Structure 1
Amino acid sequence: MADGPLIVQGDKTILLEVAHPDSTEARHAIATFAELERAPEHMHSYRITPLGLWNARAAGLDAEHVVDTLLTFSRYAVPHALLLDIVEIMARYGRLRLEKDPHHGLVLRSDDELILTEVLHVKKIGALLGSRIDALTAVVHGSARGELKQLLLKASWPAEDLAGYVDGTAHPIALNDDESTWTLRDYQRTAVENFWAGGSGVVVLPCGAGKTIVGAAAMAVSGTTTLILVTNTLSARQWKAELLKRTTLTESEIGEYSGAVKEIRPVTIATYQVLTTRRNGAYPHLELLDANDWGLLIYDEVHLLPAPIFRMTADLQARRRLGLTATLVREDGREGEVFALIGPKRYDAPWKDIEAQGYIAPADCVEVRVSLSRAERLAYATADDAGRYRLCATSPAKSVVAQALVEAHPDEQILVIGQYIDQLDDLAARLNAPLIKGTTPVKERERLFEEFRRGNISVLVVSKVANFSIDLPEASVAIQVSGAFGSRQEEAQRLGRLMRPKADGRTARFYTLVARDTVDSDFAAKRQRFLAEQGYAYRITDATG
C-alpha cells in the first residue's frame, strides 16, 4: 500500500497514524501480535515482541499472516531483516514439544537434534530431564512439566504442550440457555471451542462481555469437577449466582472457599487471598488443589494472578486450565508466566468489535485537567518522589470538579473511584454518598452494591476494591479521581465497570481527573495506553473551560 497507516521500523517498533482512514483496520490487524507502548493523539507506537509473536502462533496465525499484515498496511518498505526475524522467531514455537510416550511417560521431543542438545546443556533445564531416548527425544521428570515450560520460554524455545490432560472426576454440568431468555453468543462459543481445542490457555474479553458465561460453557464441555479461583469473596458469590442462573448446577453442588467459609464441593470457588495465606512459612490451604480430582481450573482475572499461585500452577499442568481476563497486561511483567503456566492466548475479542455487536455499551472517555494552586505547586516542587504523586492525585481541585460532574449528571448511576482513602472520605462527605473501601464488611458491600443496582443509591464512592469482578450493569458514569500510578490494567477494569449495555442504549461516560504539569499527567498517559489500543480516544477538556 503506497500510503498505508503504518511505519514499520527495523527496531521492531510500529508507528500508527491515528487519523488515517485505514487506521482502525490496521490497529485490529497488528493487535494480534504487537503491543501498544505509547498513545499520543496523532501517532501510536507499538512494539513487536517474541511473546506477542508466539501468542499469535499458538492462536493459529503463522508468520506469513504477520508479514502480509505489515506489508499490506505499511507506508514504506518494511525492513527485510525485520521480516526474516519475525519468521525465525515464530518458527521457534513448537520446535520443542511436550508429549506423552507409551513407554516413558512424559517426554520432550524435537524435530532437530541440535535444538534438543542445546536446551539439554542449559543447566537448569538439564536437571529436569532424564535419559535421552534417541537423538530427538528426552524423558521429562513427571513433576517438571510446568517448570520446564517456564525455562524453555526463557531460553527462547517455547514448547508446545501436547501431553494431554487427566479427565478429572466426572460431574455433569449443562447450560440451561433458552432462546426466550438468553443464549450463548457466537463469540463466546468460539472462545470456548478455541480453548477446548488448545487444551489450556487464556480467553480475553471486555468487561461486560460475559467472561463468566464462557467459564460456565467451558465447564459444560468439560463435564468434570471444577475449581474456580477469583479475586475476592464478592466475586465468588457473583460467580455462584451466575452459575445457578446459567447452568443445571444446584446450590448443594457449588462450594465457597474463602476467609469466612471452607466448603469443598464438585464446583468450588476459592479466593486468591485464601490460597496465598501463609502461616509459619507454609500455605495451609494449598491442600485445596489436591482436595478433589479437578478436571478443570478456571482463573478469573488471570492478569492479577499472585506470584504464589504461579508456583502452585506449575504443579497443575496435567489439568486443563482456563484464564479469563479483560487484558493480558501485567504491571509486573509476568505475561511470560501466564503463557507458560496457564497457556497461550486462545481467543481475544477487540472491545470495539463487541461494542459494534451491541453487547457492551459505547463509551465516551474524557480527561479533565485541573490546575494546582500556587501553594500546592510549591509543596509539589519541594516534595520527594514518593510524596509528589499523592499530592497532585489528591488535590482539592479534583473534589470540586468531581462534585460539579456529579451535579451535571442528575439522572445517571455514578461511580466515583479513587486510590486514596482520605480523599474518598472527603468526597463521600461532600457528595453525601456512601463509601466502599477495604474496611467495609463484605455484607455491607453487598448491601450497598445491591442498593446501587436497584437505583436506590445513585452515587457510590469506591476505592480500588471495586476494580474487579463487580457487576453493576446500570452504572453509566465513572469519575476517576486517582489511580494506581500508571496501571493500564486498572484503567481497563475501571472503564469496564461501565461497559454493561444500558437498557436505553445510552453511552457510558468515563471521566479521569488529572493534575496538569505533574507526574499525575504522566501516569494518566500510561494508564490510557490500553484503552487507546482498543480504539477509545480520550477527549481532553479543561476544568475551568
Structure 2
Amino acid sequence: MTPAGDSPPECRFEDGTIHLDGLEESQVRSLRDSTPQLELQPDSRTGGWRVPAFRYAAIRAATADLTIADTVLECEPVPDLQSAYELREYQHEALSAWLETDRWAGHQLDIAGLERAPAGVLELPTGSGKTVIALKAIERLGVPTLVVVPTIDLLEQWIDELETEFDIPIGRFGGGEQRLEPITVSTYDSAYLKADSVGDRFGCVVFDEVHHLGGEGYREIARLLAAPARLGLTATFERPDGAHEIIEEIVGPLVHRVNVDDLAGEHLAPYDVKRLEVALTPAEREEYERAQETFTDYLATSNIRMQSGSDYQELVKRSGSDPRAREALLARQRAREIARGSAAKIDALEGVLEDHRGERTLVFTAYNDLAYDVSERFLIPTITHQTGATERREILERFREGTYSRIATSNVLDEGVDVPDASVAVVLSGSGSEREFTQRLGRILRPKHDGSRALLYEIVTADTSEERVAARRR
C-alpha cells in the first residue's frame, strides 16, 4: 500500500522499455529477490528503474500488492469482433491450451481490457488452419492486436482475412505503407523498425512463423513490445541453433503441438513419402571424390570437425586468410553441388513427372541454377528469389486455375506464400532442416476432394553427403 498523502509509484512506457519511478529501496530489493528475471536496471536520468517492455506482464504480477499508477498501454477500443469461422476440434483444443496459460500467474488484473494474459506458442502443420485459430484468439481477447508476419505476401493475406472476418479497417506496416489501426499487420522488417515507438499500443501480439524471432535482430521486436498477451504460430518450433529457448522467454513456451500424422487422413490429406536413390555418373563420381578428398585432407590437419554450425563458421573465417582453407571450402561446395544436381536426378524427375502427368506438382530445389535447369528441361515455370512479385502472383494464379500443372522453385515457396493445392511434391535437393522438410510436405496436405493420397518424393544421390543430409531432415 502507499502511505496516505504520498504519490504512488508510476509505471510507464518509453521507447521499448518500462520505467518504474517512485519505488522505495525496500520495494526494489523485494522485486529483485522475488523476480530476478525482470532485468531491473537503474535509470540515471530519472533516478528510477527500467526493464525491457516485454517484462510488463511480469512487472504487473510482481507488483500486484502495490498501488501503482500504470500508464503503460495506450490502447484504442476495439469494436465487438465476430468471426464466422467454426473451429475444428483440434483447433479448439489448441486455442484452449493457449487461453489457459497466464503470464500473470493467476492475478486478475484489468489492463487494456485483459483480465488474463495468455502467452505461448502453438505448433501445427502447414495447411491446418493456424490463421483461423489466431482470428478466434483475437476475437476472444477483443483488444488491440499487432500481427507480425515474415513476407509481404502473408501481410496481404492476413489483411484480407481480417478485413473479411471483422469488417473493420486493418492497419499495415510494410510494403511502403505505415498505417496504425487497433488491429494492424506488419512484416518482421517493419516491426523491427517501429516496435519501440508503437510498443504501448497493443494488448496482444501474434507472431506468425514465430521461429523467425530466433534471429538476433528480430528477437528485439518481441522485447520492445509491452503487449502482455502473446501468441506464436509455427509448423516447426524447435531450431537447430537452440534459439527456440529465446522465443520461449520473449513469447512463451510451446503450449500445444499437433503433428502431421495426427491430422493426415481426416483434416489433412493422407500422404506417402517415397525415396528414390540415384547414382553419379563415372565422371561426376570422379570429380566428387576429388573434391571430397581435398576437403577431408584439410580437416585432418586443421582441428575442425564440422560437427556444428560454429565449425563451419570457423572454416569460412579461416578461408579469408588461409589459401588451403579457401580451397577446402570451395571443394566442399563443389562436392555438394555435384551431389545435389547430378544428371541422374534430372532423369529420375522426368520419370516422376511422367508418372504424374496432369497432377499439380511442386519441384523443390536448393539452388536457383537447378530450378532454372528444371524449368528449361521440362518447360515449366520457375519461382525463385529473383522472380518479381507480379510474375510470381501470375504463376501461382495460373497454377491455381489449372493452366499450369507444375512449378519449380528454390526455397521461395517453403513458407510465407499462399500456394494453391498440389498433390505431388518432389524434393530434388534441400538442406538437412526438419523445418524445411515439414514445410514442403505441408504444401501438398490440403484435403483432396476425391480422397486421394498426397505424395512426396525425395530424390537422393547415393553414396554422397546428401544421404546424411536427407537422414537429418527426417
Same fold, TM-score > 0.5, yes or no: yes
Aligned to 2:100: 197
Aligned-residue offset at 1:349: 1.6
Cα distance in 1, alignment partners of residues 82 and 128 from structure 2: 17
Aligned to 2:269: 361
- Residues 146 and 314, structure 1, Cα contact 8 Å, conserved in 2: yes
- Residues 147 and 184, structure 2, Cα contact 8 Å, conserved in 1: yes
Aligned to 1:307: 216
User: Helix, strand or coil for the counterpart of 1:366?
Assistant: strand
Q: Quote the sequence identity (%).
A: 31
Amino acid at match of 1:336: E
- Residues 106 and 142, structure 1, Cα contact 8 Å, conserved in 2: no
Aligned-residue offset at 1:103: 7.5
Residue 261 to residue 435, structure 1, CA distance change in 2 (3 Å): farther
Amino acid at match of 1:490: E
Aligned to 2:8: none
Question: Are residue 381 (structure 1) and residue 250 (structure 2) matched?
Answer: no
Question: Are residue 350 (structure 1) and residue 259 (structure 2) matched?
Answer: yes
Amino acid at match of 2:450: D
- Residues 174 and 190, structure 2, Cα contact 8 Å, conserved in 1: yes
Post-superposition Cα deviations, 1:383-434, rounded to whole Å, max 9, x if no partner, equal: 2223221221111221221122111101311001111111110101112111
Aligned to 1:82: none
Aligned-residue offset at 1:327: 1.1
Map 1:149-298 → 2, pairs under 5 A? 162=61, 168-172=75-79, 174-177=81-84, 183-198=86-101, 199-245=118-164, 247-250=165-168, 253-276=169-192, 283=193, 285-286=194-195, 289-290=198-199, 293-298=201-206
Question: Are residue 331 (structure 1) and residue 240 (structure 2) matched?
Answer: yes
Amino acid at match of 2:442: G
Cα distance in 2, alignment partners of residues 402 and 248 from structure 1: 45
Cα distance in 2, alignment partners of residues 343 and 300 from structure 1: 14
Residue 401 to residue 126, structure 1, CA distance change in 2 (3 Å): closer
Residue 377 to residue 176, structure 1, CA distance change in 2 (3 Å): same
- Residues 167 and 224, structure 1, Cα contact 8 Å, conserved in 2: no
Aligned-residue offset at 1:288: 5.8
- Residues 257 and 268, structure 1, Cα contact 8 Å, conserved in 2: yes
Residue 127 to residue 204, structure 1, CA distance change in 2 (3 Å): closer
Aligned to 1:427: 374
Aligned to 1:31: none
Cα distance in 2, alignment partners of residues 176 and 147 from structure 1: 31
- Residues 416 and 478, structure 1, Cα contact 8 Å, conserved in 2: yes
Cα distance in 2, alignment partners of residues 106 and 506 from structure 1: 65
Aligned-residue offset at 1:331: 2.9
- Residues 372 and 515, structure 1, Cα contact 8 Å, conserved in 2: yes
Question: Are residue 514 (structure 1) and residue 426 (structure 2) matched?
Answer: no
Question: Are residue 474 (structure 1) and residue 421 (structure 2) matched?
Answer: yes
User: Helix, strand or coil for the counterpart of 1:517?
Assistant: coil
Cα distance in 2, alignment partners of residues 506 and 329 from structure 1: 31
- Residues 167 and 295, structure 1, Cα contact 8 Å, conserved in 2: no
- Residues 40 and 50, structure 2, Cα contact 8 Å, conserved in 1: no
Cα distance in 2, alignment partners of residues 160 and 460 from structure 1: 51
Amino acid at match of 2:235: A
Where do 5+ consecutive residues of structure 1 fail to align?
1-99, 131-139, 150-158, 277-282, 529-545
Aligned to 2:346: 399
Residue 106 to residue 168, structure 1, CA distance change in 2 (3 Å): farther
Aligned to 1:496: 442
Amino acid at match of 1:310: R
Cα distance in 2, alignment partners of residues 440 and 206 from structure 1: 27
Map 1:108-187 → 2, pairs under 5 A? 116=33, 128=40, 141-144=49-52, 146=54, 162=61, 168-172=75-79, 174-177=81-84, 183-187=86-90
Post-superposition Cα deviations, 1:279-318, rounded to whole Å, max 9, x if no partner, equal: xxxx4x445644x611211111111223212123123254
RMSD over aligned CA atoms reads: 3.3
Cα distance in 2, alignment partners of residues 391 and 346 from structure 1: 42
Aligned-residue offset at 1:474: 2.0
Query: Which one has the largest radius of gyration?
Result: 2
